[in-house]
């Protein structure tokens, strides 16, 4: 951040007095940076913090509120309108929402903001846009370009160095060259350049990036040529917009033909993208795949593309102004349709790979990968939904990646895409049958058993007509789940058994058979706890063979519930903490609600009334996002009532209710930290839960790391390859969320201390 002290001070003052402030200004003028700076300084003013929501990548108006819900990590699994979910979550909170890049969906964003501000007294909004939102009570603040000194021929270098535009150019020039000073030899040219670019920060940064290959005087000459070329064209708008267009176009002119090609092709990505994605989508013709890396790095050096680490992975992105320019060039070359189709094909291949690998030991990694690509998945599904010739591809994507919607926490968004694509492709097909099965799964978890049952029945009918036995079995499976969660136990039992037979006859993938068994065991818990426990052990053993974690978390939950019923409370707590820990990489609200509830029962039975009440509150908050609390089952409700009674008696009604409220308003991350990062007093259960995440071999490797052995020495000791040893060490680091071998050593020492206790 260079300059902007006055602006940030002014806006910071407005945030304290106004509930909606919109920073307006042309593209590249620095609205986002000012908003971020203000949010950082103001966040402590709001008890529930400040949240930055990037809306520039959103193209479907129906997703505006959903993206805000996702950014705030609001747990929700219902079929409610995302705007209602957002308002209900914020209603008792004090929060600053920073909504960035609003101009392309102005009406939809304005409607959402107006609804939030009317319903939530503690909500404040700081928006960035090229024009006001038009919401009643809106205060606008125009972000002007950086100050530029007058071009006085008699001026000295010292006279101009304090101006923000000159300071920004010099700072970015030093970043490009290593060293750069505004002195008597160049200050007149620097001032002329800053004036020519009207102090627009993005334009100045683009110019500074070129100093590796030309002087300031050269930059001026090239820029003058571009302005003459642009003068009199129709792509002007207001003068300052023309300046920005000229600056970006000039930067485009200075790129190599390969860089220009990649610039316009990469504009097809939404949000961020990876190098591998750029290689797959953007290569071809005049740009060979092996050239993409070098060309992409060239665009990074020229400040056209930004590189950044996200979730431990290198990602690339373009500012909206830069991306829009590339998209315009793509249209001019008539490549838009070809590139959008290539982007959709790449997304489809990505989801195919994720589907094939999901039932295995890379689920957590795929969860991260799919979240990083969520904006691109949205763009591809949107394209397919609007293009009849690609609609079946979109339907296949939305139907096959059921785990993205169910396990990774995008139930509402998944329902939106599934219903939209089903409406676009009404004819019978294997893709439609698959999508209907996933629609049933998503719907029933949202509490909409009626829609789930209809979708499952249609899935079964189409699959039978088309001789797709595995998909037909999934239809019956989903009908069983709908019956179970719809409180029709006898029908559920019959359907579960039929689905199991159909899966076996069709030789279906084991992941579906195990998912069925886990859900059937949940059903059996109503009447046969020991029988259900045996089924859960069977599921756990199979998951262990594959390294699968998501289904295993349900098996551990079921075993924990069985041990609770048998009054083995310590073992039940350990199993339930393991279940929660396994769910941590995902966003599985269904599973977390179940685990929290049973864990609260266990804690109450152990006499830990305060923690039990807190977790009851957290579980209730999650259940409120479903259609029915505890799925409406009397078996579960009876257990919770017993837990609540014990905790209330121990604490007194007032204290109990206060602790429940504290648990209900805590964020999901706060609850997870409470459970997993703090050990229960005197039990060591949390440590046991984490330790149990490691396989026997991984625990052995962890002890050898603690002894100071290198990967090669570990390989020699265990008679395995160095690469295998390295893989085990990486698994230990990942599972324990550590960053160094020293942390492993400390953890092993802590384990030994626990053993002595």
DSSP lists the bridge partners of residue 54 as 100
Contact in structure between 240 and 203 (CB atoms under 8 Å): no
What is the spatial distance between Cα 402 and Cα 456, in angstroms, rounded to a whole number?
14
Does the domain at 255-334 match CATH 1.10.10.10? Answer given as yes
Give the model's pLDDT for residue 634.
67
Model pLDDT, residue 690: 47
Q: What are the CB-based long-range contacts (under 8 Å, 24+) for 657-661? A: 659/610, 659/613, 659/614, 659/617, 660/613, 660/614, 660/616, 660/617, 660/620, 661/617
pLDDT at 680 over 60: no
Mean pLDDT of 367-388: 93
Strand ranges in 236-290 using DSSP code E only, listed in sequence order? none
The verdict on domain 694-756 having CATH code 3.90.550.10 is: no
Q: What is the pLDDT of residues 583-620, one digit of tens each?
A: 888 888 888 999 999 999 999 999 999 999 999 999 98
Task: Name the CATH topology of 5-142.
Answer: Rossmann fold (3.40.50)
Distance CA 447, CA 449 (A): 6
Q: Considering only 361-365, 485-489, 650-654, which range has the smallest mean pLDDT?
A: 485-489
Q: Where are the alpha helices (DSSP H) in 61-135?
A: 64-71, 82-90, 106-119
Strand partners, 128: 23
Q: How far apart are the first and last CA of the chain?
A: 53
Task: Say which residue, 156 or 314, is predicted with more confidence.
Answer: 314
Least confident segment among 99-103, 142-146, 156-160: 156-160
Does the pLDDT at position 693 exceed 90? no
Spell out the residues 6+ positions from residue 675 whose beta carbon is closer than 8 angstroms to its own.
577, 580, 599, 615, 686
- The 10 Å Cβ neighbour count of residue 237 is 12
- Which pairing describes strands 95-100 and 20-24: parallel, antiparallel, or unpaired? unpaired
SS3 128: strand
d(C-alpha 685, C-alpha 608), whole Å: 14
C-alpha distances (whole Å) from 55 to each of 103, 104, 105, 565 are 9, 9, 9, 48
Whether the predicted pLDDT of 235 surpasses 70? no
Residue 141's H or E segment, with its range, is strand 139-142
Residue 445 clears pLDDT 80, i.e. is over it: yes
Across 383-397, 578-592, 620-634, 740-754, least confident range? 740-754
Q: By mean pLDDT, which of 281-285, 526-530, 590-594 is the weakest?
A: 526-530
Same fold? 543-669, 694-756? no
Query: Treating both helix axes as pointing N-terminal to C-terminal, what angle do 320-332 and 239-253 enclose, rounded to 10 degrees?
Result: 70
Pick the residue with more confidence: 233 or 199? 199
- Categorize the per-residue pLDDT at 144 as very low, low, confident or very high, splitting at 50, 70 and 90: confident
Tokens read off for 398: 């939305």
pLDDT reported for residue 438: 97
**Which of 33-42, 190-199, 623-632 has the highest average model confidence (pLDDT)?**
33-42
Count of C-beta atoms within a 10 Å radius of residue 541? 11
Q: Summarize the confidence of residues 484-498 as an average pLDDT.
A: 88
C-alpha–C-alpha distance, residues 105 and 464, integer Å? 43
686 pLDDT tier (thresholds 50, 70, 90): very low
- Mean pLDDT is lowest, of 423-437, 458-472, 695-709, for 695-709
Residues 6+ apart with CB under 8 A from 596: 580, 615, 618, 619, 622, 671
- The residue among 229 and 149 whose pLDDT is bigger is 149
SS3 state of residue 739: coil
627: confidence class by pLDDT, cuts 50, 70, 90: low
Domain locations in the chain? Answer: 5-142, 157-252, 255-334, 543-669, 694-756
- pLDDT at 687 > cutoff 50: no
CB within 8 Å of 78: residues ≥ 6 apart: 85, 412, 446, 447, 625, 626, 627
Encode 546-567: b = buried (16+ Cβ within 10 Å), e = exposed: bebbbbbbbbbbbbbbbbbbee
DSSP code of residue 289: G
Q: Supply the pLDDT for residue 471.
A: 96
Neighbouring CB atoms inside 10 A of 664's CB total: 18
d(CA 66, CA 721) in angstroms, rounded, equals 47
If one compares 674 and 106, the residue with the highest pLDDT of the two is: 106
Q: Most confidently modeled of 161-170, 601-610, 623-632, 742-751?
A: 601-610
Please report the pLDDT score of residue 403 as a whole number. Answer: 93
The pLDDT assigned to 156 comes to 75
Please state, in angstroms and rounded to a whole number, the distance separating the CA atoms of residues 171 and 308.
20
Least confident of 108-122, 178-192, 491-505, 718-732: 718-732
Residues 528 and 558: their CA atoms lie apart, in Å, by 12
Residue 296: its pLDDT value, please?
A: 95
Q: Please tell me the predicted confidence (pLDDT) of residue 475.
A: 96
Q: Which residue has the tokens 């589907």?
A: 355
Residue 486, token pair as written in the block:
């719809």
- Assess whether pLDDT exceeds 50 at residue 524: yes
Helix (H, G, I), strand (E, B) or coil at 666: coil
User: Distance (Å, rounded) from C-alpha 327 to C-alpha 319?
Assistant: 12
pLDDT tens, residue by residue, 317-369? 998 888 989 999 999 999 999 999 999 999 999 999 999 999 998 898 899 89
Structure-model confidence comparison of residues 481 and 409, the more confident one? 481
Q: Element (H or E) spanning 307, and its range?
A: strand 306-310
**Is the pLDDT at 748 greater than 70, yes or no?**
yes
Would you state the pLDDT for residue 683? 41
In this structure, are residues 582 and 552 in contact, taking their beta carbons and an 8 Å threshold?
yes
Q: How far apart are CA 500 and CA 521, in angstroms?
A: 12
Which pLDDT score is estimated for 642?
Answer: 85
Q: In whole angstroms, what is the distance from residue 625 CA to residue 77 CA? A: 5
Q: Supply the mean pLDDT for the chain.
A: 86
**pLDDT average, residue stretch 216-241:** 61
Reported confidence tier of residue 752, pLDDT bands at 50, 70, 90:
low
**pLDDT tens per residue across span 12-45:** 999 989 999 999 988 888 899 999 999 988 888 8
Residue 234 has pLDDT above 70, yes or no: no
Residue 13's alpha-carbon distances to 16, 44, 222, in angstroms, are 5, 14, 42
CATH 1.20.1730 fits 543-669, yes or no: no
Does the pLDDT value for residue 406 go beyond 50?
Answer: yes
Q: Which residue has the tokens 């110019």?
A: 207
More confident residue, 120 or 237: 120
pLDDT in tens, 250-269: 888 888 999 999 999 999 99
pLDDT of residue 194: 86
What pLDDT band is residue 731 in, cutting at 50, 70 and 90? confident
pLDDT score recorded for residue 228: 59
Q: With 80 as the cut, is the pLDDT of residue 59 above it?
A: yes
DSSP string, 698-719: HHHHHHHHHTT--HHHHHHHHT
Q: pLDDT tens digit string along 157-175?
A: 777 777 888 888 888 888 8
């Amino acid at each position: 951040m260079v300059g902007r002290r006055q602006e940030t001070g002014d806006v910071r003052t407005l945030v304290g007095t106004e509930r909606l402030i919109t920073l307006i200004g042309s593209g590249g003028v620095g609205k986002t940076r000012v908003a971020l700076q203000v949010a950082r300084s103001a966040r402590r003013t709001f008890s529930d913090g400040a949240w930055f929501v990037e809306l520039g990548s959103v193209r479907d108006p129906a997703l505006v509120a959903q993206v805000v819900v996702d950014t705030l990590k609001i747990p929700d699994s219902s079929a409610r309108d995302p705007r209602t979910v957002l308002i209900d979550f914020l209603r008792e909170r004090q929060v600053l929402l920073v909504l960035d890049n609003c101009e392309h969906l102005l009406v939809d964003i304005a409607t959402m903001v107006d609804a939030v501000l009317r319903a939530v007294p503690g909500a404040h909004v700081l928006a960035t846009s090229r024009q006001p939102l038009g919401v009643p009570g809106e205060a606008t603040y125009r972000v002007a370009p950086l100050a530029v000194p007058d071009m006085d021929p008699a001026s000295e270098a010292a006279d101009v160095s304090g101006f923000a535009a000159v300071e920004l150019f010099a700072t970015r020039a030093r970043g490009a060259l290593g060293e750069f000073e505004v002195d008597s030899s160049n200050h007149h040219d620097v001032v002329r350049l800053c004036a020519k670019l009207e102090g627009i920060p993005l334009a100045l940064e683009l110019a500074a990036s070129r100093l590796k290959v030309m002087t300031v005087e050269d930059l001026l000459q090239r820029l003058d040529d571009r302005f003459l070329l642009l003068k009199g064209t129709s792509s002007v708008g207001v003068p300052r917009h023309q300046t920005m267009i000229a600056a970006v176009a000039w930067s485009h002119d200075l790129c190599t033909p390969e860089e220009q090609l990649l610039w316009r092709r990469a504009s097809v990505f939404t949000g961020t993208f990876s190098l591998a994605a750029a290689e797959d989508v953007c290569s071809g013709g005049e740009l060979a795949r092996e050239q993409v890396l070098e060309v992409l790095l060239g665009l990074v050096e020229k400040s056209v593309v930004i590189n950044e680490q996200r979730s431990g992975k290198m990602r690339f992105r373009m500012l909206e102004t830069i991306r829009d320019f590339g998209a315009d060039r793509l249209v001019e070359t008539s490549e838009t349709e070809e590139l959008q189709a290539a982007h959709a094909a790449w997304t489809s291949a990505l989801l195919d790979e994720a589907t094939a690998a999901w039932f295995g030991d890379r689920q957590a990694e795929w969860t991260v990968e799919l979240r990083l690509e969520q904006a691109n998945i949205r763009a591809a599904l949107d394209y397919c939904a609007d293009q009849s010739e690609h609609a079946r591809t979109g339907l296949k994507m939305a139907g096959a990646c059921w785990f993205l919607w169910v396990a990774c926490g995008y139930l509402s968004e998944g329902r939106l895409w599934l219903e939209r694509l089903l409406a676009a492709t009404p004819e019978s097909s294997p893709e439609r049958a698959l999508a209907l099965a996933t629609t049933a799964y998503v719907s029933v978890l949202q509490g909409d058993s009626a829609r789930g049952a209809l979708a499952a029945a249609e899935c079964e009918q189409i699959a039978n007509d088309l001789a797709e036995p595995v998909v037909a079995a999934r239809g019956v499976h989903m009908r069983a789940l709908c019956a179970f969660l719809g409180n029709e136990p006898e029908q559920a039992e019959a359907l579960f058994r039929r689905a199991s037979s159909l899966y076996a006859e069709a030789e279906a993938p084991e992941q579906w058979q195990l998912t069925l068994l886990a859900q059937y065991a949940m059903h059996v818990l109503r009447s046969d706890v020991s029988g259900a426990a045996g089924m859960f052990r069977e599921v756990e053993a199979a998951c262990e063979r594959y390294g699968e974690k998501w289904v295993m978390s349900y098996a551990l939950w079921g075993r924990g519930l069985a041990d609770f019923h048998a009054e083995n409370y310590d073992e039940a707590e350990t199993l339930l903490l393991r279940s929660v820990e396994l769910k941590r990489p995902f966003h599985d609200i269904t599973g977390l609600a179940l685990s929290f509830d049973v864990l609260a029962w266990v804690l109450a039975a152990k006499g830990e009334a305060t923690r039990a009440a807190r977790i009851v509150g957290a579980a209730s908050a999650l259940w409120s996002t479903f259609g029915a609390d505890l799925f409406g089952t009397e078996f579960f409700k009876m257990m919770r009532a017993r837990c609540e009674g014990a905790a209330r008696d121990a604490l007194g009604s007032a204290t109990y209710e206060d602790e429940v409220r504290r648990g209900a308003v805590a964020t999901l991350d706060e609850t997870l930290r409470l459970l997993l990062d703090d050990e229960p007093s005197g039990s060591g259960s949390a440590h046991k839960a984490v330790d149990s995440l490691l396989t026997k071999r991984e625990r052995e490797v962890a002890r050898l790391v603690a002894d100071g052995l290198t990967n090669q020495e570990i390989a020699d000791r265990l008679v395995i390859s160095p690469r295998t040893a390295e893989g085990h060490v990486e698994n230990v680091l990942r599972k324990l969320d550590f960053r160094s071998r020293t942390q492993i050593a400390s953890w092993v020492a802590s384990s030994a201390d626990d053993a002595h206790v």
